[in-house]
Structure 1
Amino acid sequence: MILAVDIGNSNIALGIYNQRWVQHWRLSTVANKTFDEYAIQLQSLFANSGIPLSAIEQVVMSSVVPPLTATFQRMLAELTQRQPLVISTSLRTDLSIAIDNPHELGTDLLANAVAGHHLIRTDCVVVDFGTALSVVTVSQTGEIQGVCIAPGLESAMKALSTNTAQLPFVPLVPPPSVIGKNTAHAIQSGIVLGYVGLVEGLVSRIENELERTVNVIATGGLAEVIAPLTNRFSRLEPWLTLDGLRLIAALN
């Protein structure tokens, strides 16, 4: 069994793979949470799933939250008795990175690119709806060609409600009409439907620049909100990043 852990700015995604994904979890990211607190959470998740920690044969993790990287390395090693493979751009991925400084590429984006290329095997774009909205373009030949980054939906919502006196935090769901008739629907239209237009516009520009069409994969915690609102996505893979970690682990 493989335990894959992706530490993001808002959520920590975890999954157990045994010929297929048998378990997924999401935890809230709290940068100042202690080793012991996270250890208790992980032990509880395993106990509730009926899977013993001793069954884990390999551990792979990525992190874009530096304060938690060492905490999780130590915790995972102690609980599973397996030293985690920490993803970096120096590992073998069977992809080339055609950006100015490959070390700037986030390890979650690297995992998305690996998994997207493995699934599609042709020109593809992976759109990750996380704390940041990230768009990674991968060529048919396995070259990571570049990235687009914008604030994620929740980040945009938080900025709007924090920096205005009268606009509340509302659920990120599609409104009944693009023309909002009340404050909540107006915000949902601007953010939820607005991000549909943002994604469609970026993908169209990518295709114009490449002079060919691409397959588009949606992933991340809020992908299931946006995916039904557009026909641009070839696939919806909410746990794509974990699959990329698994694939990188197999190569290393």
Structure 2
Amino acid sequence: MLLAIDAGNTNLVFALVEHGVIRARWRIATDPRRTADEYAVWLHQLLQLEGFAREDVAAVILGTVVPRATHNLQVLAEKYFGVEALIAGQAPVEWGIALDVAEPRSVGADRALNAIAAHALYEGDLIVVDFGTATTFDVVDYSGAYKGGIIAPGINLSLDALVAAAARLPRVAIQAPESTTVIGRTTEDQMHIGIYWGYVAMMEGLVERMKAEIGRPVRVIATGGLATLFDEHSDLFDAIEGDLTIQGLAMLHARIAGG
């Protein structure tokens, strides 16, 4: 099986993939100081809980936007799984898609992987919305080329900044308000409305502008943990793919493995 690792700014996702099917996935907070040995102890226990063994892992592929975490993950692959970790975007697993932007080398691995997977799953022009530390909006054209996009503060980041800067505002959970009203009667209600409906309005406005600029029919694909939260009260998304980045990693590996 393939161990696919998506190293993001907030979390690392480890997934076991077999013939393109995700058999198990685990998440841990990103900490560049975490050693290969620490990863191994944690991952070994989770493999056992799911009925797998370390020997089941035959290959490792890594997509990362955290360069400082890369070395220890490479050591994890070599020391505990006996394989060399493939790094997405580096030989021999180049992206295989056109990065049609001013600075192709600056495109984050997660965004390139999302573009690869989204194009493989859906036809035509696409906008991929990924809810992570930042919320990104990426355009993938009908040929599969990555055309650019938007980076906005993630909703958790926005809430953290609001609470940190305003001494009397409480921390509230990120959730859909109980009512669709946008006039809150309590401080907590007003914060829920501002965070939730404000974010919906931001997304809808940006996607509308992107669609107008593209000028052709566009599907909107969402990924990331908060996608389903916003899908409850908005018809913005045509599809939700929770594991789009992992799927992109698996597709890259399948390409070089010959199937």
Note whether the superposition's TM-score is higher than 0.5.
yes
Does the 8 Å CA contact 1:89/1:105 hold for their aligned counterparts?
no
Structure 1 counterpart of 2:213, one-letter code: E
What is the Cα deviation at residue 72 of structure 1? Answer: 0.8
Paired residue type of 1:2 = L
Q: Which letter maps to 1:224?
A: T
* 1:30-49 correspondence runs (5 A): 30-49=31-50
Cα-to-partner distance string for 1:160-206 (whole Å, 9 max, x where unaligned): 11111011221110112332222222112111221111111111111
The worse-fitting range, judged by mean Cα deviation, of 50-59 and 178-187 is 178-187
RMSD of aligned alpha carbons: 1.4
Which residue of the partner structure matches residue 5 of structure 1? 5
Amino acid at match of 1:143: A
Deviates more, 1:28-37 or 1:98-107: 28-37
Give the drift of 1:22.
1.1
Answer yes or no: is 1:194 the counterpart of 2:202: no
State yes or no: 1:249 paired with 2:240: no
Give the secondary structure class of the aligned counterpart of 1:24.
strand
- Offset from partner CA, 1:78-97 (integer Å, 9 cap, x none): 22111111112664333211
Separation in structure 1 between the aligned mates of residue 26 and residue 142 of structure 2, nearest angstrom = 31
Match of 2:69 in 1: 68
- Match in the other structure for 2:79: 78
- Residues in 2 aligned to 1:119 and 1:81: alpha-carbon distance in whole angstroms: 32
**Separation in 1, partners of 2:33, 2:170:** 27
TM-score (norm 2): 0.93
SS at match of 2:176: coil
Give 5+ residue unaligned stretches, structure 2. Answer: none
The normalised TM-score by structure 1 is: 0.95
Supply the distance in 1 between the matched residues of 2:90 and 2:142 (Cα, whole angstroms): 20
Give, in whole Å, the separation in 2 of the partners of 1:97 and 1:184.
43
The equivalences for 1:1-252 within 5 A come to 1-19=1-19, 20-88=21-89, 91-177=93-179, 178-252=182-256
Cα deviation, residue 31, structure 1: 2.8
Shift of 1:144: 0.6
Distance 1:94 1:35 in 2: 30
Following TM superposition, the consecutive aligned residue runs of length 4 or more in structure 1 with deviations greater than 4 angstroms are none
CA distance in 1, matches of 2:170, 2:32: 26
- Give distance in 2, aligned partners of 1:198 and 1:30: 30
Percent of aligned positions that are identical: 35
Which is worse superposed, 165-174 or 105-114?
A: 165-174
Paired residues of 2:135 and 2:152 also in contact (CA < 8 A) = yes
Measure, in 2, the Cα distance between the counterparts of 1:181 and 1:82: 58
Count of residue pairs brought into register by the alignment: 252
What CA deviation, in whole Å up to 9, does each residue of 1:206-225 have, x standing for no partner? 11101122101110122121
CA 1:184–1:30: 2 relative to 1, 3 Å: farther
User: Unaligned regions of 5+ residues in structure 1, if any?
Assistant: none
Distance 1:89 1:57, change over 3 A: closer
Q: SS of the counterpart of 1:96? A: coil
1:193 and 1:127, CA in 2 relative to 1: closer, same or farther beyond 3 A?
Answer: same
